[in-house]
């Protein structure tokens, strides 16, 4: 994203021609690495947390971070990059670092923190690279089209992996659902919603045919994933974002966007935390457990009250010896065995970093992006980009009630959300060039 007139005219102001030439390819390469990864078509979630941070991924992301930061710096991104130095973000990152010291698994937490910081650096550089609004739309649309091509190619070349199989030992009930290059149909469904939003944006702000192709291919794949949550959220998000874009009052925007989130959190997490909510939910939908999630959340919340201030460390809880021993000692069902996350971004935020980290996380991920959107759309030049970022951000914070991806290193949904949060921050401070 061209964060200001100076950035959009890097060559004209005498900046290195090589850096200017690399901005587009590096940006596309970043999206392909984040959304395809170095190990696509794995076929299932990695049970071992250490397995998900394989050496090839670490090397690829580390080298990409160095290249992206170098190109962004050579393109004159120093001044707009100062917008990232937000006290709330610095406090949160400091708390994450402190959490490593108090973690039950400091080695795992430190490794996860290092990789997460690399991804944050890549995201921070990425949104500075496209030179102008149309260039952003064209490059993003092209990258998404490549990812979609790989997903569709997988259906033909490796159908047993790209499509859930009845032979899957973990979830045979999903047989026939498309997942493409992603680990699970729910991840594929979430990414297809994000790609759908990108396609709509490209059709409006960039090459129309490219945008329509992306939207149609993403929409078809979304339907075939069978991801009910993603399919239900997509039209709701577009409606809320459309209404939000037409209201010029911050309080009303907060009410419009965060009230549905509060209702979702009450219906999901509230059913575990508050007995009356749980009773009401069962009265409305007998036996509702959100596909077994309520038992996982109850287990996590019972442990959280033992360490409410510090939590158990960033990614230091699930898969730990403490979890296994707690289940054996207390005679619990064993549902948390083998879990790599809590199937809720908000649960994992609290269980990993305690209530202070949870409050800081809500501030930087849920509240401030909407404040940034409110400021960004005051400039007409920023409205199209701000709208697509708003759609992706809204979808992420809503779907996080049932899925966990906040700060999960190279998770594709997290990276899309990160770009949106950082993009809204830059748009709130700078005008994009055509």
Apex CA 300: angle with CA 184 and CA 289, to 5°?
A: 60
Q: pLDDT of 8-34, one tens digit each?
A: 433 334 457 887 888 999 999 999 999
Give residue-wise pLDDT tens across range 283-298: 888 878 888 788 889 9
pLDDT at 175: 85
pLDDT of residue 8: 40
Q: Which residues are CB-contacts of 88 (< 8 A; sequence separation ≥ 6)?
A: 360, 363, 364, 368
Q: Does residue 146 register a pLDDT over 60? A: yes
Q: What is the pLDDT of residue 337?
A: 60
pTM of model > 0.75 = yes
Q: Which residue has the higher pLDDT, 78 or 76?
A: 76
As a whole number, mean pLDDT of residues 192-217 equals: 96
The tens digit of pLDDT for each residue in 221-259 reads 999 999 999 999 999 999 999 999 999 899 999 999 999
Pair 26, 67: CB distance under 8 Å: yes
Kindly report, residue by residue over 123-141, the tens digit of the pLDDT. 999 999 998 899 999 999 9
Both tokens of residue 226?
A: 């069978």
Compute the distance between CA of residue 105 and CA of residue 101 in angstroms, rounded to an integer: 9
pLDDT, position 171: 75
Round to whole Å and give the CA distance between 313 and 346.
14
As a whole number, mean pLDDT of residues 40-53 equals 56
Calpha distance 426→224 (Å, rounded): 36
H or E element: which one contains 297? helix 293-304
Check residue 243 and give its pLDDT.
Answer: 95
Q: Which residue has the higher pLDDT, 199 or 53?
A: 199
Does residue 111 contact residue 48 with C-beta atoms inside 8 Å?
Answer: no
Q: Is the pLDDT of residue 192 over 90?
A: yes
pLDDT band at 46 (very low <50, low <70, confident <90, very high): very low
pLDDT tier, 333 (very low <50, low <70, confident <90, very high otherwise): low
- DSSP annotation of 174 reads G
Among 75, 58, 140, residue whose Cα is nearest residue 384: 140
Find residue 178's DSSP bridge partners: 163
């Amino acid at each position: 994203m061209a964060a200001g007139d100076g950035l959009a005219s890097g060559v004209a102001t005498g900046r290195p021609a090589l850096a200017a030439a690399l901005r587009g390819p590096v940006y596309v390469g970043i999206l392909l690495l984040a959304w395809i990864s170095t190990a696509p078509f794995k076929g299932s979630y990695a049970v071992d947390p250490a397995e998900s941070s394989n050496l090839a991924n670490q090397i690829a992301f580390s080298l990409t971070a160095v290249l992206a930061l170098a190109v962004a710096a050579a393109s004159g991104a120093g001044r707009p990059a100062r917008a990232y130095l937000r006290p709330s973000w610095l406090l949160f990152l400091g708390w994450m670092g402190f959490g490593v010291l108090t973690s039950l698994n400091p080695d795992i937490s430190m490794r996860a923190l290092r990789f997460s910081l690399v991804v944050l650096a890549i995201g921070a550089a990425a949104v500075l690279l496209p030179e102008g609004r149309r260039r952003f739309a064209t490059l993003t649309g092209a990258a998404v089209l490549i990812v979609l091509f790989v997903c569709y190619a997988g259906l033909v070349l490796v159908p047993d992996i790209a499509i859930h199989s009845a032979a899957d030992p973990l979830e045979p009930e999903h047989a026939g659902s498309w997942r493409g290059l992603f680990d699970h149909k729910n991840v594929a469904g979430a990414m297809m919603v994000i790609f759908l939003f990108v396609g709509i944006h490209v059709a409006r702000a960039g090459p129309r045919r490219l945008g329509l192709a992306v939207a149609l291919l993403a929409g078809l794949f979304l339907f075939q994933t069978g991801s009910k949550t993603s399919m239900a959220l997509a039209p709701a998000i577009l409606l809320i974002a459309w209404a939000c874009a037409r209201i010029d009052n911050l309080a009303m925007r907060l009410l419009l966007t965060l009230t549905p989130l509060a209702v979702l959190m009450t219906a999901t997490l509230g059913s575990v935390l508050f007995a009356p909510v749980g009773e009401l939910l069962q009265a409305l939908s007998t036996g509702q457990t959100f596909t077994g999630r309520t038992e996982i959340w109850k287990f996590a919340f019972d442990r959280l009250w033992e360490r409410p201030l510090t939590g158990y460390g960033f990614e230091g809880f699930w898969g730990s010896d403490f979890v296994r021993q707690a289940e054996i000692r207390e005679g619990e069902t064993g549902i948390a065995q083998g879990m790599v996350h809590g199937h809720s971004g908000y649960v994992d935020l609290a269980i990993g970093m305690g209530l202070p980290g949870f409050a800081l996380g809500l501030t930087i991920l849920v509240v401030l992006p909407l404040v940034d959107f409110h400021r960004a759309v005051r400039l007409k030049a920023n409205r199209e980009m701000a709208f697509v970022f708003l759609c992706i951000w809204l979808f992420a914070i809503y779907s996080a009630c049932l899925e966990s991806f906040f700060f999960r290193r190279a998770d594709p949904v997290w990276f899309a959300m990160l770009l949106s949060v950082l993009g809204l921050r830059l748009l709130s401070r700078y005008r994009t060039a055509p």
